[in-house]
């Protein structure tokens, strides 16, 4: 059961803002009297509360304000075994970017939750879901440049990937740093890096990148979260291989797809 949807602090991107009064998720705090009436009428035993704040919380204070509401709400429920505070911790997407001070947050939420448990009269399990925070910076998408195309106003670098592999920049204007690992010391120029799908699939517009040549490999950063998990076979394109690097050694953990993978689940129909 979700008893509250907290405030969202994510730089104004309403596509990843889910903790507000008009969200499709959960139950608004303003509906708590109705929830308590249902519990009283049915004898429902509530063992956990969960909040879903969305993504990109810059400051611990914002999360703690939401947590305070959930902790106060918890006093209405007498059989709680756990409380799930979700996630939404901010990771840096470029140099100098803001990120959640997880050390400060951890200290402050621990102190507050321990105090809550004493007031509540029992130990309650504290749960978080820090998926993006753990894996975002751990992954990169490597793409090869097929063409460098100058136009009167823009210098394009076209690559052998697209929104079928990394949809975040097109889906909700997410920023991903792009670097040229084939020519890292080249003279910087302004490029718009685009994919091979026959619609707008821009990875980054007007980016300062070391000189790009055909055949160069570009690294798109922060691809550890919501990259492969949101990938598709759109336009009958194959999903890429995945390689895990551990202690200096590389391990292939997912094969590159083939045409057989695309056709595997198709069924031949006999109309005779």
| Catalytic residue positions, numbered | 198
Q: For residues 90 and 132, what is the distance between their CA atoms, to the nearest angstrom? A: 9
254 within 8 A of 231, measured Cβ to Cβ: no
Q: Which of 47, 54, 40 is nearest to 9 (CA)?
A: 54
8 within 8 A of 26, measured Cβ to Cβ: no
Q: How far is CA 64 from CA 22, 26, 111, 119, in A?
A: 21, 19, 11, 18
Q: Which of 148, 272, 268, 162 is nearest to 220 (CA)?
A: 162
Q: What is the pairing mode between strands 188-194 and 155-159?
A: parallel
137 within 8 A of 222, measured Cβ to Cβ: yes
């Amino acid at each position: 059961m979700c008893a509250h949807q907290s405030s969202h602090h994510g730089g104004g991107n309403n596509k990843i803002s889910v903790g507000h009064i008009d969200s499709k998720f959960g139950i608004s705090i303003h509906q708590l009297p109705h929830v308590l009436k249902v519990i009283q009428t049915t004898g429902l035993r509530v063992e956990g509360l969960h909040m879903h704040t969305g993504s990109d919380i810059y400051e611990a204070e914002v999360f703690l304000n939401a947590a305070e509401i959930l902790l106060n709400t918890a006093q209405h429920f007498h059989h709680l075994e756990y409380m799930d505070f979700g996630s939404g911790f901010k990771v840096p997407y470029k140099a100098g970017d803001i990120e959640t001070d997880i050390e400060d947050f951890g200290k402050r939420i621990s102190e507050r939750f321990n105090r809550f448990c004493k007031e509540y009269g029992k130990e309650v399990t504290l749960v978080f879901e820090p998926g993006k925070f753990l894996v975002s910076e751990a992954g990169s998408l490597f793409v090869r440049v097929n063409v460098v195309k100058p136009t009167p106003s823009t210098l394009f670098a076209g690559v052998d990937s697209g929104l079928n592999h990394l949809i975040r920049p097109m889906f909700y204007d997410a920023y991903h740093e792009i670097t040229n690992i084939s020519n890292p010391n080249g003279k910087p120029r302004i490029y718009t890096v685009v994919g091979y799908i026959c619609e707008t699939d821009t990875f980054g517009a007007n980016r300062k990148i070391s000189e790009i040549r055909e055949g160069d490999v570009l690294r798109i950063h922060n691809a550890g979260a919501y990259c492969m998990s949101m990938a598709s076979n759109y336009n009958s394109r194959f999903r890429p291989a995945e390689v895990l690097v551990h202690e200096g050694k590389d391990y292939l953990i997912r094969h590159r797809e083939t045409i057989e993978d695309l056709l595997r689940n198709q069924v031949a129909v006999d109309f005779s």
